[in-house]
Amino acid sequence: MTGGTLSREQGIADLVDDYDVIVVGAGPAGLSAATTLAGTKARTLLIDENQTPGGQIYRAITLAQPVDRQRMGEDYWRGRSIAEEFLRSGAEYAPATTAWSIQPLQDDPGRTAGHEVGLSSSGMARLIRAKQVVLATGALERPFPIPGWTLPGVMTAGAAQIALKTSGLVPSGKVVIAGTGPLLYLLAAQLIDAGAMVSAVLDTTPRENWHRAFRHAPGFLVSPYLAKGLKLLKSVQRRTRVIRWVSTLAAEGEGGLREIVWMTGGREQRMPADLLLLHQGVVPNVNFSNAAGCDHYWDEAQLTFRPQVDEWYASSVAGLSLAGDGVGIRGAEAAAIQGRIAGLGCASQLGLIAPVERDRLADPLRRSLARAMRGRRFLDELYRPAKAFRVPQDQDTTVCRCEEISAGQIRASVNAGAGGPNQMKVFLRCGMGPCQGRLCGLTVTELIADERGTHPSEIGYYRLRFPIKPLKLRELAALPQTDTAKVAVLADLADTHHSTDLVERKSQ
Amino acid sequence: MFRRLSDRASGEITFTFDGRPITASAGDSVAAALLAAGVRACRTTPVSGSPRGPYCMMGVCFECLVRIDGVDNRQGCLVIVQEGMRVESQRGSAALMAEPAQ
Amino acid sequence: MGACVAWGLARQGLRVCVLDEGDIALRASRANFALVWVQGKGLGLPAYTAWTKSAAEAWPCLASELLSDTGVDVGLDQPGGFTLCLSDRELQVNVDMMMRLHNQPNTVIYPYEVLDHTQTRARLPAIGPEVSGSIYCPLDGHVNSLRLFRALHAAMKARSVDYRADHVVTAIEPRAGGFALKGAWGEVRAPRVVLAAGLGNARLAPMVGLEAPMKPSRGQIIVTEKAAPFLRYPVVTVRQTDEGGIMIGDSEEANASSLRIDHSISSVMADRAIRMFPLLGDLNVVRTWTAFRVMTPDGSPVYEQSETCPGAYVAMAHSGVTLAPQHAFSLADYIATGTIPKEAAVFSTRRFRVPASV
Ligand SMILES: Cc1cc2nc3c(=O)[nH]c(=O)nc-3n(C[C@H](O)[C@H](O)[C@H](O)COP(=O)(O)OP(=O)(O)OC[C@H]3O[C@@H](n4cnc5c(N)ncnc54)[C@H](O)[C@@H]3O)c2cc1C
Ligand SMILES: Cc1cc2nc3c(=O)[nH]c(=O)nc-3n(C[C@H](O)[C@H](O)[C@H](O)COP(=O)(O)OP(=O)(O)OC[C@H]3O[C@@H](n4cnc5c(N)ncnc54)[C@H](O)[C@@H]3O)c2cc1C
Ligand code: FES
């Protein structure tokens, strides 16, 4: 099969068993990596969970109409050319496909000779091999654990943006947007532009952040963020009430959201609401890189764990590169450039381009990357979410939404001997539900650090296991079974040979 | 809670939610179609039975779980609605029917 | 193991300190299948059958003591357990094995039944047509292993055991009147030391004149999302936890060197689980993991006091969940009094040096 998009009917059954490269994630980083690699004649497969390419920022871009250009802005529209370039690149594309595992393949001398990637689509799983893998799985919105955040009617602001991009849905009724972060006002403006009546924006950015951020003002002043940011702020302020210095926030209601309660300037206030949209920045989605065994470190500026990468975005695991916001939040433009650099790195590993050529091509990219990253430090400092919104102060606030574990229970387990997230998980089942810690991991690390009076870097993160996304038991059962595997389960009863010896079967 | 922009309505699709017929636009995810129809909660949790509804719309939170054509615990925000689809609220944990739907 | 012994010793009024690794470690107790299992244990060492059987009998007592010390219900359920067979040959091999077990001299006898498909179906209505038969033993059961882990930690705390995480022991030095245990964190001294470090015993035992023979044994387990209750009895390879999740396992590999998941093994296990219970096919798998067992060469436990350094003990067992009452009650007694009686002395490593005496 040559380049092209798999149709719904074909599914992943028609994929060949081996590729030069598998890229996971069709956001700006993954699209650019795949386009670059296909350009060097690497046999490239791009897979993504969504129905169409674009990732978060350019979600549903190939379906967008001219009205969306005006509604969502030029930064959104730019995704069209990135997606189109990819679709012409000759890389294969498997949409609506989830990657759930990645494992190194060893050659004879025990070196890593590539990876085997577990894919699942429309109820079918496959294991596909590739010499190089690029994970460009992007970011997710930082957990926002406030009292009542599990009530129906409370969603993330990103969720509302996705509903708008993919289905043209606009929030209606009494809508409140709350939080902080560079995207908060963008999301608010997009929703208002699309016709949403927003009752208020509750801004939780702490006052002291402004002082800290100003140290990094020079970079910010020359970055494109400044003009864009001011314009958004003005546009939102003109059209809704912006309430600043919000220091506590809670959602209330029986069986669904009714009211929002917050404090500002030491005073408690209330407002009825049908929909509360929360957002306090985005953080790398590290589930895949963590389960794959890549080294991670705590980034104090971004208050998150980030995978370690070298100048070609290669991770600590041989043959596995990472690019885009999954490595650290740098924004869409930087993600696309990183994807291209990672692509060049892989192409050179594959022997498709010479190192000199690789360096020559990467040079201008690195300069653009530096430009694209200007002003980031300012944004990181300014939009650092307040501790009260990261580490719930109220004991009853739910932290793990899946297993319904509260902040108080986690604090108590620390005192009962669970010194880290993995021991705590065993004590409370916290983080063991289907989201696999995506919505509680960072909160748990910071909570335990807070309770133990130490630093998150000392505490670490959940150790995650495959599958990183659930798949059906019957999908697993249909994967190829080796003789060794049969022996491991059935010992002498495996139908690989017919010995009549009786051995003691494995005992529990 | 949500309304649809008139310029974004495309081919109509009809499916049922807990037996009630709902009209969606072609290309909607199940979760988006439910939000457009005013459904806030689509499941109850296995632990406490409390109601939940879609939270992230991008496949990470697992709050949008529904039963689709007899299969429990599918992520509504990642499944595209199809004509005639039978969607039901996910009540607690998977039901384990003796005759699993194919 | 360590938590059981420590709690048991503290119950006798001893001052106990537990030195443990940190948040991430090779820790079989965090990775097990949680069966309290008698069926099939003790081929080659009949004393192990007796030891296991009385462990199962003592479990209700352990569960209630833990509950009263900590308020944590470990979810003990002993309705009897099944070995399900997917072919006549499989059934025959298992039946033969049970017969050989019961034909050993000086072995304790326990009840079990061999059931055909229809008889099995009467008790496990969800089985599929491929199940050819089963063995049922009324002594078998299971617990909630996560809650057991938590209860033991809480129980240690309730009895003032000094539990220290992030205290890897790198050296043990016999001293006059006791031992000095050392690590990057410093040093503690105690007149007695119990090595219950699982796989870590291999390194520690020689420091006090003991051996900790083990053979590599890796197991793999699959866990699904929660489901409505469908399985009244634990099956040796499939069980439903009291929270609803289904655990499927476990495999045994003798030559695996890493903890990397083998999807091929998962596939065999998943396939067999679905053939046993077809309704499992549509459940979502949420986790798979592998772990190394604390496996002695014959699979039976090792308990021994050092001859050259009296006061130093080694304690290790593969079936640490099943045997938990023995470790918390009997073994703790032996260590407190300083002598391992005859019925438990058979579990010394001497059995690996002399020809089997059965
Ligand atoms: C909800 C949300 C909305 C955002 N909106 C904007 C915006 O409007 N403007 C802006 O500048 N920035 C936005 N961002 C920030 C965004 O992270 C970056 O701007 C940009 O999208 C990063 O690009 P990327 O290629 O690194 O990752 P992404 O664009 O996030 O792409 C990652 C892709 O990987 C896929 N994926 C992840 N895991 C798997 C898996 N296991 N299997 C298969 N596929 C997988 C995802 O479905 C996604 O398509 C948003 C972030 C979020 C979380
Ligand atoms: C896949 C699998 C399935 C199982 N299923 C069952 C079952 O169904 N029923 C059953 O009864 N049993 C089962 N078991 C066995 C049971 O889990 C073990 O017997 C039991 O947990 C062993 O406990 P342990 O305390 O000896 O070892 P571990 O739990 O491994 O504990 C050893 C402890 O010592 C610490 N340690 C190691 N070295 C050092 C050092 N140098 N300094 C300080 N601390 C150190 C480790 O960090 C660890 O905390 C299973 C085991 C596995 C792996
Ligand atoms: S809404 Fe979060 S996973 Fe679907």
Tens digit of each residue's pLDDT (9 = 90 or more) over A447-506: 999 999 999 999 999 999 999 999 999 999 999 999 999 999 998 787 654 333 334 444
CA of A165 to the centre of ligand 1 (A): 13
Of C154, C208, C213, nearest to C3 by C-alpha is C154
Which residues face A322 on adjacent strands?
A: A135
Structure tokens at C74: 């470990």
Read off the tokens for A387. Answer: 């501790």
CA distance C199 to C185: 21
Q: From CA C330, how far away is CA C340, in angstroms rounded?
A: 9
Number of A to C CB contacts under 8 A, please give it: 178
Structure-token pair, residue A141:
């919105």
User: Is the predicted pLDDT of residue C231 greater than 70, yes or no?
Assistant: yes
Average the pLDDT over C156-168 and give the result. Answer: 96
Asked if residue B95 has its Cβ within 6 Å of ligand 3, the reply is: no
CA distance B86 to chain A (A): 17
Does position C153 have pLDDT exceeding 90, yes or no?
A: yes
Query: Does residue C305 belong to the interface with chain A, where contact is any CB pair within 8 Å?
Result: no
CB pairs under 8 A between A and B: 121
For the cut 80, the answer to whether the pLDDT of residue C142 exceeds it is yes
Residues framing ligand 1 (Cβ under 6 A): A 24-30, 47-50, 55-57, 98-99, 136-141, 158, 161, 183, 186, 282, 288, 324-326, 331-332, 335, 469; B 58
CA–CA separation, C358 vs C353, rounded Å? 14
The SS3 of residue C288 is strand
Which tokens go with A291?
């389960």
The pLDDT of residue B92? 94
pLDDT score for B11 = 86
Q: CA–CA distance from A275 to each of A173, A235, A270, A426, B64 (Å)? A: 7, 21, 14, 35, 16
Nearest to B100 among C225, C226, C279 (CB): C279
Q: Residue A2: is its pLDDT beyond 80? A: no
Regarding the beta carbon of C293 and ligand 2, being less than 6 Å apart is answered yes
The residues with which A471 forms a beta bridge, in sequence order, are: C285
B6 is a domain residue: no
Question: If pLDDT is split at 50, 70 and 90, which confidence band does A9 have?
Answer: low
C146 touches chain A (CB under 8 A): yes
pLDDT, position A68? 86
Q: Which pLDDT band holds residue C358 (cuts at 50, 70, 90)?
A: very low
Give the number of residues written for chain C: 358
- Tell me, what's the pLDDT at A337? 98
Tell me, yes or no, whether B50 lies in a domain: yes
**pLDDT score recorded for residue A106:** 80
All structural domains of chain C with their residue ranges: 2-71+145-214+297-349
Q: Is residue B63 part of a domain?
A: yes
3-state helix, strand, coil in chain A (%, to 5): 40, 25, 40
The mean pLDDT of A152-161, rounded to a whole number, is 97
Contacts of B29 in chain A (CB under 8 A): 166-167
Amino acid sitting at position A187: L
Taken in order A179, A182, A186, A189, is the CA torsion positive or negative?
A: positive
What is the third-level CATH fold of C2-71+145-214+297-349? Answer: FAD/NAD(P)-binding domain (3.50.50)
Q: How confident is the model at residue A508 (pLDDT cuts 50, 70, 90)?
A: very low
pLDDT tens for each residue of B5-56: 988 777 899 999 999 999 999 999 999 999 999 999 999 999 999 999 999 9
pLDDT at A10: 63
Q: Spell C50-75 as b/e; 16+ CB within 10 A means b.
A: bbbbbbbebbeebbebbeebbebebb
Question: Is A339 strand, coil or helix?
Answer: helix
**For chain A, what percent of residues have pLDDT higher than 90?**
82
Is residue C341 very low, low, confident or very high in pLDDT (cuts 50, 70, 90)?
very high
Q: Which pLDDT score is estimated for A503?
A: 40
- CA nearest to A103, candidates C215, C290, C251, B60: C290
What is the residue with the minimal CA distance to atom 49 of ligand 1? Answer: A55
Q: How many CB atoms lie within 10 A of CB A377?
A: 17
Q: Under an 8 A CB cutoff, do A465 and C289 touch?
A: yes
Q: What does the pLDDT read at residue A3?
A: 53
Q: Who's near A196: CB < 8 A, 6+ residues apart?
A: A170, A171, A172, A175
For residue A80, how far is its CA from the centre of ligand 1 (angstroms)? Answer: 15
Can you read off the two tokens belonging to residue C170?
């790198």
Q: Quick check: is B9 in a domain?
A: no
CB C33 less than 6 A from any atom of ligand 2: yes
Helix/strand/coil (H/E/C) assignment for every residue in A89-126: CCCEEECCCEEEEEEEEECCCCCEEEEEEEEEECCEEE
Q: Is C36 exposed, middle or buried (0-12, 13-18, 19+ CB in 10 A)?
A: buried
Q: How many CB atoms lie within 10 A of CB A465?
A: 17
Q: Hey, which residues 227-246 in chain C have their CB within 8 Å of chain B? A: 227-228, 230, 244
The reply to whether residue B29 touches residue A67, judged by beta carbons under 8 angstroms, is: no
Closest chain A residue by Cα to residue B32: A163
How many angstroms separate the CA atoms of A55 and A135, rounded? 13
Distance CA B74, CA A324 (A): 28
Q: Are the C-beta atoms of residues B39 and B64 closer than 8 Å to each other?
A: no
Residues A253, A261 contacting (CB under 8 angstroms): no
Selection from B55, B2, A168, B45 nearest residue B64 by Cα: B55
CA–CA dist B30, A11 (Å, integer): 20
Mean pLDDT of A213-221: 84
Which domains are present in chain A? Answer: 11-140+283-353 (3.50.50.60), 143-280+377-382 (3.50.50.60), 391-459 (1.10.10.1100), 478-507 (no CATH)
Contact C90 A466 (CB under 8 A): no
Q: Does residue A145 surpass a pLDDT of 90?
A: yes
A182, pLDDT greater than 70? yes
How do residues C194-223 score in pLDDT, each as one tens digit?
999 999 999 999 999 999 999 999 999 999
Pairing of strands C193-195, C218-226: unpaired
How many domains is chain B partitioned into structurally?
1
Rg over CA atoms, chain C = 21
Which of helix, strand or coil describes residue C309?
coil
Give the pLDDT confidence score for residue A4 in this predicted structure: 66
DSSP class of residue A372?
H
* Residue A428 Cα to ligand 2 middle (Å): 19
Q: Kindly indicate whether the ipTM for this predicted assembly is greater than 0.90, answering yes or no.
A: yes
Model pLDDT, residue A368: 96
A166 in reach of chain B (CB within 8 A): yes
- Give A420's pLDDT tier (boundaries 50, 70, 90): very high
Of all residues in chain C, what percent are helix, strand and coil, respectively (each to 5)? 35, 25, 45
Return the minimum-mean-pLDDT range out of A203-212, A239-248, B2-11, C269-278: B2-11
**Is pLDDT at A97 greater than 90 in this prediction?**
yes
What is the three-class DSSP state of A383?
Answer: coil
Chain A residues 218-247 with CB within 8 Å of chain C: none
The three-point CA angle B56-B60-B65 to 5° equals 80
pLDDT at A496: 59
Please report, for the domain that includes residue B58, its CATH number: 3.10.20.440
Whether the CB of C162 is below 8 Å from some CB of chain A: the reply is no
Question: What integer is the mean pLDDT of C226-252?
Answer: 95
Q: What is the mean pLDDT of residues A108-126?
A: 89
Average pLDDT of the residues in C260-286: 96
Q: Which ligand is nearest to the CA of A372?
A: 1
Residue A217's pLDDT band (cuts 50, 70, 90): confident
Among the listed ranges A376-380, B47-51, B87-91, C66-70, which one has the minimum average pLDDT value? Answer: A376-380
pLDDT band per the 50, 70, 90 thresholds, residue A206: very high
Across chain A, what does the average pLDDT equal?
92
- Position A444, amino acid: V
* DSSP three-state, residue A358: helix
